[in-house]
Amino acid sequence: MTNGNGTRRVVVTGMGAVTPIGETVPELWAGVREAKCGVSELGGFPLEDLKVLIAAQIKDFDHKARLKHFQRDKIVIHADRYSWFAAAAADEAMKQSGLEIPVEDPYRAACIVGSGAGGLVTYETAYRDLFIHNKRATHPLTLLRIIGSSAAAHVGIEFGIKGPTFATCSACSTATHAIGLAYDYIRHGLVDRAISGASESVINYGTMKAWQALHVLSPQGCFPFSKNRNGTVLGEGAGILVLESLEHAEKRGANILAELVGYGQTSDARDMVNPGVEGPREAMRMALADANLAPERIDYLSAHGTATAINDKNETNAIKEVFGDHAHKLAISSTKSMHGHPLGAGGGIEATLCIKAMEENWVPPTIGLTEPDPDCDLDYVPNQGRDREVNYTMSNSFAFGGLNTVLVFGPPPA
């Protein structure tokens, strides 16, 4: 039940997701199998003078229906949209895990649910109320809605978790950092199980203006590794895993979905916007070393793949430096081509897809890849997914500020 270094083995027993191409894991996986594109015309708020008019939004999400059965958290229905997504995904993951609710031995459980931006929808609503509509006050729950740890608190309250409960915040690496922390907490014996991942809902007028100003949004679509890529597309959603020690999961007879075998994290320490090759490369190497796996053991790599010119090229070069000749034998894809870039939530959603790829021996595609960039010359599984034996997967998350995180998953222990 322990690794060679004496640490405990960590397994995944539950998964939850809310995305623009599916509001549960089965729906998300069906969307990926169909090569579904979640990018559509922007809507739901005043567009005014926006120039980028597309996003990967979750439309018609019924939070009251999804969360009406919550018993312990009485105000989650009145929370920010990002907390709704987190709560719905965590609820799905907990139900799949079969853990008792509220959890037994609650001080031996953790809830690490991050967000890159927290309640930005609430921020904008409050500012519009104050400065445009000249209201004298904001909604009484405004402060609780905007806090970046609110989602973690809501989830922790509902499932009765009294151990470490907090948020991570590291831009697009947020979910992967949260999962990595939970992994470390369990394998070193601080807790026995954890809810971990991230949620994001930032698509509003102010956020679109801010991203426009940085000149990294595409007005056409998200086309990772493509010659005609011209930026990313904002998305939203949540991705949550339930992790447990192998001993804890086996003792209660849980259905184990996968083993989390490796985690790597680095910082470029060089630039806020332009990524390097060294940081991502070393994060991948660290994750492989942590997993005690040779690079050739990885069958599928879920790339960060944002469709920005420098990120895709640098990630390609980093993969080549880590995997050598095997880089050209790897199946690699960016599922952001389908569900958009959900910022901090991306790593949780993509980790879920890595586990599904292992379960079904089928790798997701990178859609919209009709003409590859000559500098991006690896197998990005263009346009249609494919059958392939998948035993080990790697999930990359590389964030603004040069914050790099990588997870490696393996099959359930025999």
- Residue positions annotated with a catalytic role: 172, 304, 341
Check if the beta carbon of residue 31 is closer than 8 Å to that of residue 21.
yes
For the CA atoms of 89, 90, 96, 100, the dihedral, rounded to the nearest 10 degrees, stands at: -160
Check if the beta carbon of residue 376 is closer than 8 Å to that of residue 313.
yes
Amino acid at 107: Y
Residue with tokens 């010359």: 377
Note the residue count of the chain. Answer: 414
Phi-psi bin for 213: left (phi > 0), alpha (psi -120 to 50), beta? alpha
Both tokens of 14, joined, read 């539950």
Residue 350's nearest CA partner among 305, 391, 302, 382 is: 302
Both tokens of 252, joined, read 């209660």
Check if the beta carbon of residue 101 is closer than 8 Å to that of residue 123.
no
Cite the beta strand spans of 61-119 per DSSP E: 109-114
